[in-house]
Structure 1
Amino acid sequence: MSFWAALSLFLVTVALMEGFAYVMHRWVMHGPGWFLHESHHRARHGNWELNDLYAVIFAVPSIVLLLGGVQLGWWPGFTWIGAGIAAYGAIYFGFHDVIVHQRIPTRYLPKSAYMKRIVQAHRLHHVVETREGNVSFGFLVAPRPEALKAELKRRGRAGVRRAATGRAAPPPAAPAPAAFVED
């Protein structure tokens, strides 16, 4: 396989993984897989949470493709697809676990508009602690935070996490009453 074909397979796989991750996060993790993912929307006690099993589950296809492409004589492209999946996993780990959730302490502060946008979008995803009513399911592509805030407000802040004080989040503002006009 040529270098350019291999590189193309690798890069296309990394890009397609964002769509796969969105689908899995939106309709599996916040669907039938909530029993594992719920731990990620709660305060973590210790180094691990049940949600971490998703990293193991999603690593299996990468390992199988790498093994098949490198050791078992399968089509060489499987090596690059497996490597693309692994690269996306590494990017996800760095962004999600290190930068956003600071599971490995760093002093990194997002400075670019892109990094600020995706960090804020992910944090807005986490203000909802229930399986429904969330916004922003992507990891590397995210809507503008203003749009996400407006969507949370439109939904009446259902499921929004309580403030650190233990009080419930403030209810959405009531619509202004229609003006009374006498004829």
Structure 2
Amino acid sequence: MKIALWILIFLGTFSFMEFMAWFTHKYIMHGFLWVLHKDHHKKDHDSWFERNDAFFIFYAVVSMSLIMLGAETSFWYGWPLGFGILAYGIAYFTVHDIFIHQRFKIFRNANNRYAKGIRRAHKMHHKHIGKEDGECFGMLIVPFKYFKK
């Protein structure tokens, strides 16, 4: 029973992180922490790193803290919570930073319906380089209108 609950918490956390990605992006990145996110929309530096990467660090610290809490205390829920956040972070990094923004030059030839939809949706978001008017959504689930044939 504990294994089933562990898996359920892990999957629930992974799914909830899609909401958190949308919420964080819309209200925090395009809100009061725009100063960290704006270089993602309009590159103003020569570095491979962006100030926007601070958001990855924040979620990594939360994930690691929960995993360590689960390992060092009787709060075993920390394991599936922390690993759910970690798994979402890996998926997000793979889709957003590797596939869409090509921070590593792999997955360039992916041309299926999902790949085209994700690229199209992200392009619409980056159409606006300012703080306002950018359409915000999660990274793994985007509106169906972008999945044209």
> What TM-score results when the alignment is normalised by the length of structure 2?
0.91
Give the whole-Å Cα distance in 2 for the aligned partners of 1:74 and 1:136.
38
Please give the secondary structure, in 1, of the residue aligned with 2:32: coil
Once the two structures are overlaid, the 10-residue window that deviates more, 55-64 or 136-145, is: 136-145
Note the aligned Cα RMSD (angstroms).
1.8
The match for 1:60 is: 61
The match for 1:14 is: 14
Q: Tell me by how many angstroms 1:118 deviates.
A: 1.5
Q: Runs of 4+ in structure 1 displaced over 4 angstroms?
A: none
Give the whole-Å Cα distance in 2 for the aligned partners of 1:11 and 1:107.
26
What letter is aligned with 2:32? P
Q: After superposition, where does 1:1-183 map in structure 2 within 5 Å? A: 2-43=2-43, 45-70=46-71, 72-143=72-143, 144-145=145-146
Q: Tell me by how many angstroms 1:114 deviates.
A: 2.0
Q: Tell me by how many angstroms 1:140 deviates.
A: 1.0
Q: 2:67, 2:83 within 8 Å by CA — same for their partners in 1?
A: yes
What letter is aligned with 1:46? S
Q: 1:121, 1:136 within 8 Å by CA — same for their partners in 2?
A: no
**Structure with more contact order per residue of length (Cα contacts < 8 Å, sep ≥ 6):** 2
The structure having more radius of gyration, on CA atoms, is 1
Please give the secondary structure, in 1, of the residue aligned with 2:139: coil
Q: 2:98, 2:107 within 8 Å by CA — same for their partners in 1?
A: no
Higher helix share: 2
What letter is aligned with 2:84? G
Give the whole-Å Cα distance in 2 for the aligned partners of 1:118 and 1:74.
40
The number of aligned residues is 146
Gaps of at least 5 residues in structure 2 are none
Return closer, same or farther for 1:18/1:46 CA change in 2, 3 Å cut-off.
same
Give the whole-Å Cα distance in 2 for the aligned partners of 1:33 and 1:110.
33
Q: Tell me by how many angstroms 1:107 deviates.
A: 4.5
Q: Tell me by how many angstroms 1:8 deviates.
A: 1.0
Give the whole-Å Cα distance in 2 for the aligned partners of 1:53 and 1:98.
17
Give the whole-Å Cα distance in 2 for the aligned partners of 1:4 and 1:112.
33
Once the two structures are overlaid, the 10-residue window that deviates more, 135-144 or 93-102, is: 135-144
